[in-house]
């Protein structure tokens, strides 16, 4: 199922091109709002980076179940001779791959435009981005499954999703600031622990209850 989603999105390019272009357009807006030479440009880097990625990611995540329902393939997928929880894992991991590719394109662009150095070893950035995007894809897949059962679900999707993302956004911002300033997580390590627990919660619980979620 993971390969099916990856192959389909690779053919259409919608789950990759649209979020990446949206993130880069947001970067362009920020650059126009804070032209070169304006003081305090560094202060908006962290918030701008993650805001662009989170907003751009909603485009792909909202479609993870909506397309199957629109084309009448959702129940066929759920009636397949596999555990329904495996459907959640497949959708979630496919979404994570798409988000990772979008981040791979947009994050270097943000660092280059803002003239911001890494300030920490590359592996720390990879670990941080991986945990943030994993949490985002887990909760996003769950909310997308719920929204797919509702009338006007694509409109309700961001309304349901963003309140649940508040802990992830806070963790991402604090940990990014720690890497840029101190080169490590230091006192912000508690946010890393919270991010790990969030991943366990929003991958573990949906895995256990997904069969009931799709029957709502």
Q: Does 5 or 53 have the greater pLDDT score?
A: 53
pLDDT category at 210 given cuts 50, 70, 90 is confident
pLDDT tens, residue by residue, 101-152: 889 989 999 888 888 888 888 999 999 999 999 999 999 999 988 887 777 7
Domains contained in the chain, number = 1
Judged against a pLDDT cut of 60, whether residue 37 lies above it is answered with no
The answer on pLDDT for 15 being more than 70 is no
Q: What integer pLDDT is reported at residue 155 of this predicted model?
A: 82
Q: What tens digit of pLDDT does each residue of 68-100 get? A: 666 556 666 666 666 778 888 888 898 898 899
58 close to 154: Cβ distance less than 8 angstroms: no
Percent of the chain clearing pLDDT 70 (strictly above) = 79
More confident call, 158 vs 82: 158
Q: How many CB atoms lie within 10 A of CB 61?
A: 29
Structure tokens at 19: 């979020």
* pLDDT attached to residue 42: 59
CA dist 3 and 9 (Å) reads 10
Q: What is the mean pLDDT of the chain?
A: 82
Burial class from Cβ neighbours inside 10 Å (0-12, 13-18, 19+) for residue 159 reads exposed
DSSP conformation letters of 61-84: HTHHHHHHHHTT-HHHHHTSSS-H
| Number of neighbours of residue 162 by Cβ within 10 angstroms | 14
Residue range of the domain that includes 201: 2-213
Supply the pLDDT for residue 171: 94
Query: Residue 200 above 90 pLDDT?
Result: yes
């Amino acid at each position: 199922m993971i390969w099916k989603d990856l192959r389909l999105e690779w053919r259409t390019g919608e789950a990759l091109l649209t979020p990446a272009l949206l993130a880069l357009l947001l970067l362009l807006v920020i650059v126009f709002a804070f032209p070169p030479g304006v003081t305090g440009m560094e202060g908006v880097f962290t918030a701008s980076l993650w805001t662009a990625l989170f907003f751009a990611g909603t485009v792909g995540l909202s479609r993870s179940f909506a397309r199957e329902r629109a084309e009448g393939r959702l129940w066929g997928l759920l009636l397949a001779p596999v555990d329904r929880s495996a459907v959640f894992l497949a959708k979630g991991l496919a979404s994570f791959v798409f988000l990772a590719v979008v981040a791979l394109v947009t994050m270097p662009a943000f660092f280059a435009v803002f003239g911001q150095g890494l300030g920490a070893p590359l592996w720390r950035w990879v670990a941080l981005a991986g945990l943030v995007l994993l949490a985002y894809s887990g909760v996003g897949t769950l909310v997308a499954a719920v929204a797919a059962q509702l009338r006007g679900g694509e409109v309700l999707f961001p309304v349901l999703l963003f309140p649940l993302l508040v802990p992830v956004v806070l963790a991402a911002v604090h940990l990014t600031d720690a890497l840029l300033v101190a080169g490590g997580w230091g006192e912000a390590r508690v946010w890393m622990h919270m991010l790990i627990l969030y991943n366990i919660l929003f991958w573990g619980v949906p895995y256990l209850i997904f069969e009931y979620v799709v029957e709502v």
